[in-house]
């Protein structure tokens, strides 16, 4: 404390002649300057340190894509990115370690972002050194990377985890394209009545976050699992970088939409510090879907074939896609409650058709359903396409096996024990698909709550 006061006194000696300074005002001013140099986010996980010196004339003039990282807004931006990531993983905010962001004067557009991990006792700490002007995508990717690292290290003891590039790049890309608001806030750029004004444009129209990836990947050869796993030097830059991020986004998206994809992804992240090779951690986390690397390679190849064969630019939103699927698998029919009554229009399930109708009537309507499902596949959202394929495969297999076994000559589904077994197996598969359809169906109340939270955030900030 004495040394600090001495420095302040020396500062007083070099003031211009005749200047009047109140020592108390100088002391308070210095404290206020120090207070302004450190900024904490609302959850206290992020601490932002302003640059130690200003650099109004950077070595390279910033381009239009660079955003000035305002320390006050940066604290809000970090919380927004974290909220979006937690929502994607189905987690609540239970952070363990602080993340310190040290800004320094901008030098070049492509200068590296350095993440340093330090352990004090049982506590991990993270420091992110980054320029005070960056491209929005690079900043968001850096924050997603350190957030995933903090999540993985919560159970780490001897070594910090290594987050694979596909997870960081793919998750960041998906969050940027699926978020309903800007994840990185920009400093105000206008003045009205002496007040700085910043504007954010929001659109109520929901855009499929995979549209851009779909468009790009239809004009190029998608990356193999090996290329995603071990990107070469320079593969994350320029056009090659865009291709990598597109494939990584689809990879992450497809993993998350597996039946228990979020749980598997969380288990995978938690297992990363336990193994030097992330692939071992992956198989451990996703063991309910993949038993080895070969299974994962086959799955990814199939997903790419199906993904690039569809036109997502005209795909329906998720809610509408599920509604259309409901209409196909629950066709309307006319029934009579009595011979002298007018027919009533009602819905019937595929299970009821297979269980109660004779095969001649079954075959006619089920073949129509196959045609409708094939057409539906080209228009539904990516979340619903696997369901459409599964229903189509189940119905197609049932019809094929019925005809193959000569059951088409029979009039009732219960005519033979063999037919009973085939019908029962098909009914069981359809029941399982119905349950899965309800699990994947978009939840309207949750979306409304998210919109309310977003509006509240915008008002508060």
Residue 204 confidence (pLDDT) above 60: no
pLDDT score of 211 more than 50: yes
pLDDT above 60 (res 192): no
Predicted local confidence at residue 187, as pLDDT: 80
Whose CA is closest to 150, among 69, 93, 71, 90? 93
Q: Residue 378: is it exposed, middle or buried by C-beta count within 10 angstroms (0-12/13-18/19+)? A: middle
User: 444: pLDDT confidence band, cut at 50, 70 and 90?
Assistant: low
**Is 405 a residue whose pLDDT tops 70?**
no
Tokens 């050869």 locate to 221
pLDDT given at position 259 = 87
The contacts of residue 55 (CB under 8 Å, 6+ apart) are 105, 106
Is the model more confident about 23 or about 71? Answer: 71
CA–CA separation, 321 and 298 (whole Å):
27
Neighbouring C-beta atoms of residue 27, cutoff 10 Å: 12
pLDDT value, residue 317: 86
Pair 335, 344: CB distance under 8 Å:
yes
Give mean pLDDT, residues 391-408. Answer: 82
- As a whole number of Å, the end-to-end CA separation of the chain is 37
Residues 72, 79, 456: CA angle, nearest 5 degrees: 90
Confidence label for 446 from pLDDT (cuts 50, 70 and 90):
very low
Can you tell me the distance from the alpha carbon of 141 to that of 186, in angstroms, rounded to the nearest whole number?
A: 17
Mean of pLDDT values over 105-125? 87
* Stretch 23-34: mean pLDDT: 48
Residue indicated by tokens 């830059």: 237
Please provide the DSSP assignment of 227-290 as one string: HHHSPPTTTTSHHHHHHHHHHHHHHHHHHHTSTTHHHHHHHHHHHGGG-SSHHHHHHHHTTTT-
Higher per-residue confidence, 65 vs 351: 351
Closest CA to 351 of 368, 331, 335, 337: 331
Distance CA 321, CA 213 (A): 20
* Radius of gyration of the chain, Cα coordinates, nearest whole angstrom: 29
Q: How far is CA 393 from CA 352, 366, 373, 423, 426, in A?
A: 18, 12, 10, 15, 11
Nearest to residue 250, comparing CAs of 269, 276, 222? 222
pLDDT at 3: 35
8 A C-beta contact, residue 169 and residue 244: yes
Name the average pLDDT for the chain.
79
Helix (H, G, I), strand (E, B) or coil at 442: coil
Mean pLDDT of 73-91: 94
pLDDT 10s digits, 87-109? 999 999 999 999 999 999 998 88
CB crowding 177-215: b at 16 or more within 10 Å, else e? ebbeebbbbbeeeeeeeeeeeeeeeeeeeeebbbbbbbe
C-beta atoms surrounding 69 within 10 Å: 25
* Per-residue model confidence (pLDDT) at position 170: 96
Give the Cα separation of 268 and 283 in Å (integer): 8
Residue 83's pLDDT is 95
Say yes or no to pLDDT of 64 above 90.
no
Q: How confident is the model at residue 443 (pLDDT cuts 50, 70, 90)?
A: confident
Q: What is the mean predicted confidence (pLDDT) over 60-88?
A: 86
Quote the pLDDT of residue 234: 81
Where does the pLDDT of residue 55 fall: very low under 50, low under 70, confident under 90, or very high at 90 and above?
A: low
Q: What pLDDT does 265 receive?
A: 97
Lowest model confidence (mean pLDDT) among 28-42, 129-143, 174-188, 371-385 = 28-42
- Report residue 34's pLDDT band, with 50, 70 and 90 as the boundaries: very low
The C-alpha atoms of residue 270 and residue 161 are separated, in whole angstroms, by: 9
Joined tokens for residue 87: 């929502």
């Amino acid at each position: 404390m004495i040394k600090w006061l001495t420095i302040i006194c020396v500062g007083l000696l070099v003031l211009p002649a005749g200047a009047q300074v109140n020592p108390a005002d100088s002391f308070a001013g210095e404290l206020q300057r120090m207070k302004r140099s450190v900024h904490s986010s609302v959850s206290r996980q992020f601490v932002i340190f302003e640059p130690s010196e200003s650099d109004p004339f950077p070595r390279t003039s910033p381009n239009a894509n660079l955003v000035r990282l305002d320390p006050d807004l940066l604290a809000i931006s970090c919380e927004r990115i974290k909220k979006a990531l937690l929502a994607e993983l189905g987690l609540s905010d239970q952070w363990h370690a602080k993340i310190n962001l040290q800004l320094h004067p901008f030098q070049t557009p492509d200068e590296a972002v350095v993440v340093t991990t330090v352990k004090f006792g049982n506590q991990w700490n993270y420091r992110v050194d980054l320029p005070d002007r960056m491209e929005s995508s690079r900043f968001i990717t850096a924050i997603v990377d350190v957030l995933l690292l903090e999540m993985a290290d919560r159970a780490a003891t001897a070594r910090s985890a290594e987050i694979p590039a596909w997870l960081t790049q793919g998750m960041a890309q998906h969050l940027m394209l699926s978020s309903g608001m800007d994840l990185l806030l920009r400093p105000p750029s206008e003045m009205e009545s002496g007040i700085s004004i910043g504007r954010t444009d929001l659109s109520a129209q929901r855009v499929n976050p995979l549209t851009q990836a779909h468009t790009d990947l239809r004009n190029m050869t998608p990356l193999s699992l090996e290329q995603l796993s071990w990107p070469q030097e320079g593969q994350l830059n320029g056009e090659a970088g865009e291709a990598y991020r597109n494939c990584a986004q689809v990879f992450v998206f497809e993993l998350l939409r597996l039946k228990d994809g979020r749980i598997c992804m969380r288990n995978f992240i938690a297992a990363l510090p336990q193994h030097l090779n992330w692939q071992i951690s992956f198989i451990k986390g996703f063991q309910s879907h993949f038993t080895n690397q070969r299974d994962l390679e086959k799955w990814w190849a199939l997903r790419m074939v199906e993904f690039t064969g569809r036109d997502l630019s005209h795909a329906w939103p998720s809610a509408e896609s599920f509604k259309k699927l409901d209409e196909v698998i629950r066709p309307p029919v006319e029934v009579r409650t009595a011979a002298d009554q007018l027919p009533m229009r009602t819905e019937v399930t595929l299970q009821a058709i297979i269980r109660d109708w004779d095969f001649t009537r079954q075959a006619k309507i089920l073949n129509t359903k196959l045609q409708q499902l094939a057409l539906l596949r080209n228009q539904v959202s990516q979340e619903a396409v696997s369901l459409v394929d599964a229903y189509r495969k189940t119905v197609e297999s049932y019809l094929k096996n019925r005809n193959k076994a000569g059951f088409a000559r029979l009039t009732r589904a219960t005519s033979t024990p063999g037919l009973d077994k085939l019908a029962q197996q098909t009914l069981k598969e359809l029941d399982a698909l119905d349950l899965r359809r309800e699990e994947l169906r978009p939840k309207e109340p949750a979306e409304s709550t998210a919109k309310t939270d977003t509006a509240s955030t915008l008002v508060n900030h």
